[in-house]
Each structure stands twice: as structure tokens, then as C-alpha cells.
Amino acid sequence: MNYNKKSVEEIEVRGKRVLCRCDFNVPTKEGKITSDKRIVAALPTIEYLIKNGARVILCSHMGKPKGEWKPELSLKIVADRLSELLGKEVIMAADVVGEDAKAKAAALQDGDVMLIENVRYIKGETKNDPELSKELASMADIFVNDAFGTAHRAHSSTAGVADYLPAVSGYLVQKEVSIMGKALADPDRPFVAILGGSKVSDKLNVINNLLEKVNTLIIGGGMAYTFLAAKGYGIGKSLLDEEKLEYCRDMMAKAAEKGVKLLLPIDTAIVESFPSPIDAEIEVAYCGCDAIPENMIGVDIGPESCKLFAEAVKEAKTVVWNGPMGVFENPTLAKGTIAIAQALADSDAVTIVGGGDSAAACEQLGFANEITHISTGGGASLEFLEGLELPGIACLQDK
């Protein structure tokens, strides 16, 4: 994958109608936005376009309307919040590529901003329907992709329109590609990757790809117990991906062959049963990973593992982290995840946190400002780490 893509600053936008794909898939409750983080993240690109006299046509999805018009998934609340943040009116279209959107796009003046309706109201969006891509492109002169969170999807508004318009990256996508791209293509070493989360199967290709690139690979979270079982340890009632035991053995052999240090937990937090509800108070005990009792479940890395992993992070020059170390939704079982977040915050290395749960953990725990880069896309950052080509980035013009 070529990470050297043209940015919005490398194309003339003055007087041009610019279709800008953002990620406005914000969480809502009772018709109100509960976090405007994604809207705020899009501001630098939108403000650049306004300042440089573009006629801005914003588009995004929200939720999964599956081709149906669902009023509760309308982007009107985003337009209202964006108007407040920009200090100017964001014109809201009543449709996606219908008469209203087209008329409003045609009437835009330099520096005006409009938002079309939820692109997933149209069935063809998620199928990358060329007809929809053409309709979207017909409203604009330039396409800017600033939605890294959907860059792994080949949809009409993320990739299809680039078949019909010159396409460049916004600041958000540019930052993701330059920081994560460099980490994978040319990292400062030692390069340490930390993977967590529940299932080995979710990270099969990521592990395989990272073993080609890293100096140290740390594995925690639920997936670690399948690796421990593959080593011949008894893991009690801990999460086990039985079909992946052979794969884990292959990966451990590959690490040894490549001279990659593969670190697994050496101790673990154990409980008799999962907390219910998930954040309920719970008693935990700790034991060595080679001594998990048959009736117990491993739910987090233990204090010795925290120290071991933090030591590896301390020696690193580049660190990539994706996935929590335990059931971090429960405060008692979040200690391993907190320790990793703290280790990254204390590190002088380039520290990158893949989206999803690990990003949420860093933000909830107040470490966000201490991390070099927190990715805005869970699925996209995972596919990036797999070494896959992301359609929403591949479609952009090369420098």
C-alpha cells in the first residue's frame, strides 16, 4: 500500500465545490449527541476549506439505516452542532442526491458549507453502486476523504466517488496515514506491538503481519489464554479458541525463527465467574499463568505481567497498541489495560493506539494527551496493521 497520498493542501479548492467525506457517526441518546468528538475531529479540514474559498459539501453516514429513511438517524443534529462549532450556518439538505441536495449544492457560494443527509439512507452506498457514486460526484469538482474510520470500506461515498473526481486526503486521514504508515513501513526501533482483545481469530492476520515487522510482540487480553494453552498450560475455564491452537503454535515458532521476542502474560487475575452486570464489584485472586485452577477464569493480566510489558515499552522507540489486556469495562479488571496505557503515556517513544476499545480506554483514563496518536478508526486501524489495502485511501491521488 502506498501511504504517500496528496492532501487537501495540494489541490486548488477556491471556487470549487468540494465533496468531503467525514465520520459524523456520533453516539446519540434521545435525539441528542452524547459525544461530539468526531465532529470536532473534522473541524481542521472543514475550516481549511472554508478559509480557502471552497464550496463545501459534507457527507457522512450515521448508524445502520440499511437503505431506509429513519428519522432518528438523520444528520440534522450534526448540522446544528457543526453550525455552533464553526460559528456559521451549515445548510442542511433534505436528501442525499435528490433535488434538494443538488439545488443547494449548485447555489453554494465560496466559503459556504452544506451537509447532505445520511448516505446510508440509500441502499447503493454500502454496495459501492457506481450510479450513486456518479450522482454524488455530479454535485462536486473535488473529493476529499477525511473519514479514516470508514476507510476500510469500499462504499460509494468513501471510494466510489474517486472514480469520477480528483481525490485527496483531509487532515485526519493524512495524519493517520503518515503516522501509522511510517510506523509500519519505516519504524524507529526497537518496534514493539501490543495486541489484546478477546479472540485470536480477530487478529490472525495482524499477528502474522506484525511478526514480519516488530522486534517485540506482546499478547494480552482474552486471546493470550489460547496462546498459553498452545504452550501446554492448563487455563481453567478461561477463553479458549480451540480451532486456533495450531495457529498459535505456528506463530510462536515463526517468532522464534524471525528472532522476534514474543511476550505472553506470566501471571493473571482470576475469578470464578464473569461479573454480572459487567461493571459489578467482584473479588479477584492472582496466580501464575502456569497454575490457573481448573474452576477459574483468567480475566486480566497480573501485576508481574504489567511490569514485564511496561519494561518492554520503556525500551521501545515505536509502540503500537490494539486491544485491552482484560475485561476493562469492569474497574477491578481494568488494571492491566491501565498499566499499558500508563506505560505508553510515560514512554518517550512514538506511541500509537489503534481505535476501538484501547482508544476508548486511553480516553476514559485520561491518557489521551500523553499518546502520540490515537487512531479514529477501530476496524480501519486493524486492517492497516494487517497490511491490507484500505479502499478509502488507495483511491486517493499519489503525491
Say what the pLDDT of residue 59 is.
98
Residue with cell 519504524: 187
Q: Which three cell numbers stand for residue 270?
A: 482470576
> Topology of domain 8-171, per CATH?
Rossmann fold (3.40.50)
Say if residues 87 and 64 touch (Cβ distance below 8 Å).
no
Residue tagged active-site, from 199, 249, 258, 317: 199
Residue tagged active-site, from 221, 356, 378, 392: 356
Say what the pLDDT of residue 3 is.
75
Report, as an integer, the average pLDDT of 266-288: 95
Report, as an integer, the average pLDDT of 237-261: 96
Residue tagged active-site, from 5, 17, 21, 38: 38
Task: Return mean pLDDT, the chain.
Answer: 94
- DSSP-derived letter for residue 59 is E
> For 24-28, 102-106, 153-157, 359-363, which range has the lowest pLDDT when averaged over its residues?
359-363
Say if residues 23 and 38 touch (Cβ distance below 8 Å).
yes
Measuring CA to CA, which residue among 372, 374, 391, 373 is closest to residue 383?
A: 391
Q: Which three cell numbers stand for residue 336?
A: 492491566
Listed ranges 172-176, 229-233, 389-393; the one with the highest mean pLDDT:
229-233
Higher-confidence residue of 51 and 199: namely 51
How far is it, in rounded angstroms, from Cα 216 to Cα 316? 9
Residue 199 among the catalytic residues: yes
Q: Outline where the chain has alpha helix (H).
A: 37-51, 76-86, 99-107, 130-138, 171-185, 204-210, 223-230, 245-258, 303-315, 335-346, 357-364, 378-386, 391-394
**Beta strands 285-288 and 267-271, pairing class:** antiparallel
Q: What's the Cα-to-Cα distance from 222 to each of 68, 269, 323, rounded to whole Å?
A: 37, 12, 10
Q: Please, which residues have CB within 8 angstroms of residue 247's CB and are 6 or more apart in sequence?
A: 200, 204
How far is it, in rounded angstroms, from Cα 58 to Cα 44? 13
Report, as an integer, the average pLDDT of 6-11: 97
Q: Which three cell numbers stand for residue 337?
A: 489495560
Residue tagged active-site, from 98, 181, 379, 387: 379
> Are the folds of 8-171 and 179-386 the same?
yes
135-185: per-residue pLDDT in tens? 999 999 999 999 998 999 999 999 999 999 999 999 999 998 888 888 888
Q: Please, which residues have CB within 8 angstroms of residue 212's CB and are 6 or more apart in sequence?
A: 258
Give the pLDDT band of residue 43 (cuts 50, 70, 90): very high
- Provide the percentage of residues in the chain whose pLDDT is more than 90: 83
Say what the pLDDT of residue 138 is.
98
Residue 379 among the catalytic residues: yes
CATH 3.40.50.1260 fits 179-386, yes or no: yes
- Provide the percentage of residues in the chain whose pLDDT is more than 70: 99
Give the pLDDT band of residue 120 (cuts 50, 70, 90): very high
Q: Please, which residues have CB within 8 angstroms of residue 241's CB and are 6 or more apart in sequence?
A: 199, 200, 201, 223, 226
Measuring CA to CA, which residue among 141, 133, 316, 360 is closest to residue 214?
A: 316
Report, as an integer, the average pLDDT of 123-141: 98
Give the pLDDT band of residue 105 (cuts 50, 70, 90): very high
Report, as an integer, the average pLDDT of 12-40: 95
Domain definitions of the chain by residue range:
8-171, 179-386
